[in-house]
Amino acid sequence: MRKGMWTAAAAAGVVLLVAGCGAGGGADKGGSSSAGSASTGGSGAGGSGGEKLDAAAVTKEVTDAATEAGFTQDASGEQVPAELKDCMVSWTADGAKAADPKKSYADAVSTLAGGGWTQERSFEQSGAQIKTLKKSTWQLQASNHAAGPLKLIMFIATDTGPECAAVIAENNAKNKPSS
């Protein structure tokens, strides 16, 4: 079950990458067009000073933003498979312990944006919110499904660089269910 979950998460990251390459895809609540932020190389492709982020730095940024916003990490959340540890980060909040999950989610996303993450898309339906942010080669999907009884808030980041794209594609092919 977990492998299937990560295959889906990795595929979602790839879909987000492809969807982000079009002109003007998604709503940007900041009122500015961010279609150009999905650059194809060059220094500083979303990062400060052009430095490439690694999984440890992304984990720290997400952890700091989420905990500062009032979340604690749910240790039972999905774990990244060992072969994807350098290419993916998952941080699941314990939404039931947050005083106001909706506000904490908004605050965490705001903190990430203040730390150099650029919001590319925003989607809201039936109380669920999904925001896609980018920094360097990393794409982060921040999702808030806390409107119902489940209280699921997740931050899943995928390195969309060529090395990780190859590792994720190989992992997806290896774990593809046979029909």
Q: Where are the domains of the chain?
A: 2-21+49-175
Interior angle at CA 79, CA 48 and CA 38, nearest 5:
30
- Residue 28: pLDDT band (50, 70, 90) is very low
Looking at per-residue pLDDT, the higher value among 51 and 84 belongs to: 84
Q: Cα separation of 92 and 1, whole Å?
A: 17
Question: CB under 8 Å to 122, separation ≥6 — which residues?
Answer: 26, 27, 28, 29, 129, 130, 131, 132
Looking at per-residue pLDDT, the higher value among 25 and 171 belongs to: 171
The listed range with the strongest mean pLDDT (18-22, 26-30, 147-151) is 147-151
User: What count of Cα atoms within 13 Å lies in the side-chain half-sphere of residue 102?
Assistant: 6
- Residue 154: pLDDT band (50, 70, 90) is very high
Q: What is the pLDDT of residue 175?
A: 84
Looking at per-residue pLDDT, the higher value among 57 and 38 belongs to: 57
- Residue 6: pLDDT band (50, 70, 90) is very low
Q: What is the pLDDT of residue 95?
A: 85
The one-character DSSP state at 23 is: T
Looking at per-residue pLDDT, the higher value among 43 and 60 belongs to: 60
Question: CB under 8 Å to 108, separation ≥6 — which residues?
Answer: 65, 66, 68, 69, 71, 142, 155
- Residue 179: pLDDT band (50, 70, 90) is low
What pTM was computed for the model? 0.72
- Residue 30: pLDDT band (50, 70, 90) is very low
Average pLDDT of the residues in 134-143: 97
